[in-house]
Amino acid sequence: MFKSLKSNGFYLNHMVMIILALICVLPFIHVLSVSLSSSAAVSANEVTFWPIGFNLNAYEKALDDTRLIGALWISIQRTVIALVLGLLINSLAAYALSKGGGKNGVRGYKFFVAYFVVAMLFNGGMIPTYLVVTKIGLYDSIWALVLPTISNVVFIVLLMNFFKALPRELEEAAFMDGSGNWGVFTKIVLPLSLPVLATISLFLIVAEWNEWLMGQIYMKPENVPLSTFLKSVLATPNIDAKNAEEASKYSFLSLSSAQIFIGALPILLMYPILQKFFTKGLVIGAVKE
C-alpha cells in the first residue's frame, strides 16, 4: 500500500512539474513563433506555437534600430558592473559578519546584523533616493543604475551562512602559515564558495537585466537600459507615415516579439552555465547552524 502511495505521489509530482514547465515555456515559444511569422499571419491571429510564413524581417528591423543596440550595450555594462561590485561588496560584508562577535569577531556584531535587517525591511523611498542620486551627481550615469541597489541583505545572509558552514580548520591552518584575513578570504573562502556565488550571480544578473524603473527615473531617454527601452516601445509603437511602407513587411506584434526575444536571449544563455550550482548554493546558503 505504501509503495503504491509513494509511486502515485512520484507520478503526481512529475505531472505537476511538467504542467508548470509548460505554463512557463509555451508563452515564450509563442512569442518566438510570432517574431518569425509573416505580417499577414500575425495580423490574422493565426500563429500559435509554430511560425507561419517564416521570415526574419522583424529581427532585421529590430537590429537596425540603433536605440535597441545602444540600450543593449548599456544593459550589458550595467549587469557586468553590478555583478562584479555586488559579489565583492556583499561577500566582504558576509565574511566579516560570519566571524560573529567575541575575541576574533567583529566588535558590535549584533548592531550590524540588526542594521542590515532593518535595512531589508525599510527603505528611504523613491523620492529621497532620487534626491540623493541627483544631488551627488549620478543622474544619467551608469552608476545611477548600479549603486542604489548594490548591497542586498538577502545575498549577505546567504553568503554569511555559507561561510559559517566552511571548516574552520582551513582558516586556522592558513593563519598558522602566515596568511592574513584577505589571503584567507581570496584563496580559501571564495574558491570554496563557488556554488553560492554562482547562485547569487544568477539572481544579480536576472534582477539587473530585467529592472526597468530605475532607467526611467534616473536616465535620459537616449541612455536607458534595454528593459526600459522595451517597456517604452511596447507601450508606444513608433509607426507613422514615414515608415508605413517599411512597417508593412512586419506587424508591430512581430517586431515587439523579436525585441522581447533579443532582450531575453542573454539570460537564457546564462541559465545553463549557472544552473548546476543553483540548487546546491541556495540550499547550503539558506541553512543556519
DSSP string computed for 115-145: HHHHHHH----HHHHHHHHHHTT-TTSHHHH
pTM, two decimal places: 0.79
Residues 108-165: pLDDT tens digits?
Answer: 777 887 888 887 777 778 888 889 989 998 898 999 999 988 888 888 888 888 888 8
User: Can you tell me the distance from the alpha carbon of 197 to that of 180, in angstroms, rounded to the nearest whole number?
Assistant: 22
pLDDT of residue 258 exceeding 70, the answer is: yes
- 175, 200, 199: which is closest to 188 by C-alpha? 175
Which pLDDT score, from 0 to 100, does residue 48 have? 83
Length of the chain counted residue by residue: 289
- Write the single-letter amino acid at 40: A
Sign of CA dihedral 128, 129, 130, 133: positive
163-198 pLDDT tens trace: 888 888 887 788 787 777 788 888 888 888 888 888
Tens-place pLDDT, residues 225-238: 988 888 887 776 65
